Structure 1
Amino acid sequence: MKESYAVVTGASQGLGKSFARQLAARQYPLILISLPNENLPAFCSQLKADFKVEVHCYETDLSLKENIFCLTEWINQNFSVNLLINNAGIGGTKKFEEASATYIAKIIQLNVLATSLLTHQLLPNLQKQQKAYILNVSSLAAFSPIGYKTVYPASKAFIHSFSRGLYQELKDSNVFVSVVNPGPMRTNEDTTRRIDEQGFFAKITSLDPDKVAKHCLIQLEKRDTVIMVNPLSWLLLKLLPIWLKLPMLTNKIKREISITS
């Protein structure tokens, strides 16, 4: 029987990179995917050297549908897969009227279409394994619309809903589906600076991507269908009425735009 691989999208930076490290430390053979020119081959070589695991890298733009089909055909023809982590995604902060059509389309194509099609095309492969897992990365933004981020929260709400529905379809099969809804993470210097500028609450609720990845993998093994890594922020979003949280979150983003512009 062929060895089964973990597939991680958006693996060259941030949470995806942390997932790759955590999985390599657990001796998982990996297929890592990212955009071209993000130093993915060097990262793959580092993981091979550090953890003595097999790592394959694949560079492509998943916002293009034809690239998704090329990737999944390559995976299905050459590898058995028992874990798919749909981590690749894109956000953005912009006035909707000032956003380009390309900007809007890319968020939807990467966050919504790529997650859906990758899952659909790799599902037959996952179903051939004794046990298999799908983990989709949503966001706390899935629980509230936000002005100046109009498309991003909507795309993450889709991922959350899609994951919950697919879990229900597959709950009696060998494929377990989970979704994680992290909040802001200190993934790079720019993101860390933006978090710090948002004040005390943002600082104390921000997350470390390595800890998030480790927690997600533990909870996935426990078959946790909705993984919450920031329960305080989630509780506030759930308890606050929409008429209160919508303007509050929108005003926070509006201030962020005014600071950076």
Structure 2
Amino acid sequence: MFKVKKQLFKERLSKNLHKEFGVQVVFKETDLSITENVLSTSNWINENYNVSILVNNAGIGGTKKFEDTTVTYIEKIIQLNVVATSLLTHQLLPNLKKQSKAYILNVSSLAALSPIGYKTVYPASKAFVHSFSRGLYQELKDTNVFVSVVNPGAMATNPEVSKRIEQQGILGKLTLLDPDKVARKCIKRVLKRDTVIVVNPLSWLLLHILPIWIRLPLMTNAIKREVQ
């Protein structure tokens, strides 16, 4: 029943987007933490569509003591945040290069700018996304494909997530962002060829200014409140 409701919701959303913006909308549900699904989805896209914009937005995190995590927990973060982002980009790049202008937007995180206790694997995976994006931008800068990366803070995607982030205290509240506003700004900036997109300047500045011996315990203590 739950799957049927999700399917109906996506169909209604697709129709509403078509009605409001006059664009064709197609959705395909799959688990990108499985490599075979990433490759089959890439093949399906390449066989049926011309791609001018690729947004690698799929990602997963979590807050746990590292010793209490499972192999599945660790593997899923790496597979989705690192492997899926890399493989989707690799498999769709020939398609993107066929267009007159094309863009890749990779969604990293402010967590990419600092290690964080009780998250451990997640910041490392997002640091990969940031580094990967910057390197790929340099590699493709003389082609028709422009590469951007955005490092947003925590996003208020639903009430449960918002409540959990607010438990981090003042740091969590300051960095909590509206997903709609972030999405609009990202699309606007990538089309203006901004290779590093900043949506929370205050947090970005603090993470660059604060030395690691202050930044690491500060962020870890904020995140620790979630575990407690």
On whether the aligned pair clears a TM of 0.5, the verdict is yes
Q: TM-score, normalised by structure 2?
A: 0.94
Work out which of the residue numbers 153, 176, 195 in structure 1 matches 2:165.
195
Contact persistence 2:168–2:223 (CA under 8 A): no
Work out which of the residue numbers 51, 55, 66 in structure 2 matches 1:85.
55
1:256: Cα distance to partner?
1.7
The answer to whether structure 1 residue 50 and structure 2 residue 17 are counterparts is no
Q: TM-score, normalised by structure 1?
A: 0.82
The answer to whether structure 1 residue 215 and structure 2 residue 185 are counterparts is yes
Amino acid at match of 2:50: S
Structure 1 unmatched runs, 5+: 1-35
1:170: Cα distance to partner?
0.1
Structure 2 unmatched runs, 5+: none
Work out which of the residue numbers 84, 88, 106 in structure 2 matches 1:114.
84
The answer to whether structure 1 residue 76 and structure 2 residue 46 are counterparts is yes
1:98: Cα distance to partner?
0.8
User: How do residues 232-251 of structure 1 correspond to structure 2 at under 5 angstroms?
Assistant: 232-251=202-221
Number of positions where the alignment pairs a residue of Structure 1 with one of Structure 2: 223
Q: Structure 2 CA distance, aligned partners of 1:159 and 1:205? A: 20
Q: Structure 2 CA distance, aligned partners of 1:137 and 1:40? A: 22
Q: Which residue in 2 is equivalent to 1:176? A: 146
Q: Structure 2 CA distance, aligned partners of 1:43 and 1:255? A: 36
The answer to whether structure 1 residue 252 and structure 2 residue 222 are counterparts is yes
**SS of alignment partner, residue 62 of structure 2:** coil
1:194: Cα distance to partner?
2.0
- The one-character-per-residue Cα deviations of 1:211-258 (angstroms, maximum 9, x if unpaired) are 111111111111111001001001111111111111111111112210
Q: Structure 2 CA distance, aligned partners of 1:219 and 1:56? A: 25
- The one-character-per-residue Cα deviations of 1:72-109 (angstroms, maximum 9, x if unpaired) are 11111111000000000000001111110011000000
- The one-character-per-residue Cα deviations of 1:108-160 (angstroms, maximum 9, x if unpaired) are 00000000000000000000000000000000000000011000000000000
Q: Structure 2 CA distance, aligned partners of 1:94 and 1:203? A: 20
Q: Structure 2 CA distance, aligned partners of 1:65 and 1:237? A: 33
Judging by fraction of residues, say which structure has more helix: 2
